[in-house]
Chain A
Amino acid sequence: MKNLMEHMGVEPGRLQFSWISSAESTKFVDVVKQVTASVKELGPNEKFIKKTVKVA
């Protein structure tokens, strides 16, 4: 899925996967930090905004 999203032109880093056990609190914090940092770097995702005016 990640491969295909990126193949289609979604930035690498926009879609992320992780597997964290409920006992791995430190890993959770690390992953959240990493994800937020990489997403902040990419900036707002404007590709998925609908530009056409909604009718009715």
Chain B
Amino acid sequence: MDAYITKIKAISERLLKDGTVEAVIGFREGTMPMMSEPCFIKSSDDVKDLVWNANCRINLANYLTNRKEKIAIVAKGCDSRNIVNHIIENKIKRDQLFIIGVPCKGMNDKNTGALQDNCGTCTHRNPVIYDELVGDLVVEQTGVDKYADVKKVEAMSTDEKWAFFEDMYSTCTRCYACRNACPLCYCPTCFVDESKPQWVGKATDPIDVRTYHFLRAYHCAGRCTDCGSCEAACPQNIKVRQLTKKLEKDCAELFGWEAGLTLDKRPPLDTFNVDDPNDFIK
């Protein structure tokens, strides 16, 4: 970790000094314990504020949306996959970016300090695209069961499933931290904020809460990289990833797709193929 940050600082300083980029997106020490916060460094004098530790769990690709300037970004495996998403979805251009790749061994959970849930089953710890690495590539995990908890829910009866999610979302206050932390959620006006028409109630009625989570997850279908930003941001510790993971599993099974791995392929929900599964249509 120490070697990483020395390298991150050195690269950032160099890029800012020689004018390659106008800003570096990285992490600095947060105002709360066990929480590093994302920051924009715009001057080489401020490079000293950058940190790298096991609390850099938020996905930085979130801050790239529609930026016009040349920009450098510190990217773990998951951040890099979301950068690929952003490029595919025309939210940023590759030539605007200088990607400082960070091989990652997982972030710590914000409450327990143990390895974060999604990091335990991560199979893309190394950045998929980068301009410069800050350390040697790490060994990828193999043989992990990514979808153990999804399978558990799949095995439940309809009523049990309903009750499971009813219970899970019962503490949700609709603060939208999950949406705001999510690099995929970049719509200028989110459907929950629309009032003409109002798609969904804005209070914490269980049905509205469920509709919000369902639709937000669905908007991430075929795009979610399971970076865990949503769960890391949730002040109520709701397992927000339950639904997005189910979609990730479906995409893998139906389309053989994993999001954010290559710039050369369009996502499955963006393309038509005569072999697309259509058993659900009568």
Contacts and interface: CB of A to CB of B under 8 A. Distances in A.
Do A and B come together as binding partners? Answer: yes
B159 A50 contact: no
Contacts of B207: 47-50
Interface in A1-47: 1-12, 16-19, 31, 34, 47
Given A3-B250, A9-B165, A17 B154 contact: no
A7 B153 contact: yes
Interface in B215-243: 217-218, 221, 243
B146 to A, nearest CB: 16
A33 B165 CA distance: 32
Give the dominant DSSP class at A's interface. Answer: loop
A9 B218 contact: no
Contact of A8 (B201, B206, B214): B214
B272 interface: no
B164 A9 contact: yes
A28 B184 CA distance: 38
B243 A8 contact: yes
Contacts of B218: 1, 4
Interface residues of A, number: 24
Nearest to B161: A9
A8 B282 CA distance: 22
A12 B160 CA distance: 14
B217 A4 contact: yes
B158 A4 contact: no
B246 A3 contact: yes
Contact of A4 (B206, B214, B281): B214
A49 B208 CA distance: 10
Nearest to A48: B207
A5 B210 CA distance: 11
Interface of B: 150, 153-154, 158-166, 201, 205-208, 210, 214, 217-218, 221, 243, 246-247, 250, 280-282
Interface of A: 1-12, 16-19, 31, 34, 47-52
Given A18-B281, A50-B207, 19 more contacts: A3-B250, A3-B280, A4-B214, A4-B218, A4-B221, A4-B246, A5-B214, A7-B150, A7-B154, A8-B161, A8-B210, A8-B214, A9-B159, A10-B158, A16-B282, A17-B281, A18-B282, A31-B282, A50-B201
19 contacts: A1-B218, A3-B250, A4-B214, A4-B221, A7-B153, A7-B161, A8-B161, A8-B165, A8-B243, A9-B158, A9-B163, A9-B165, A12-B158, A17-B280, A17-B281, A19-B282, A47-B162, A50-B207, A50-B208
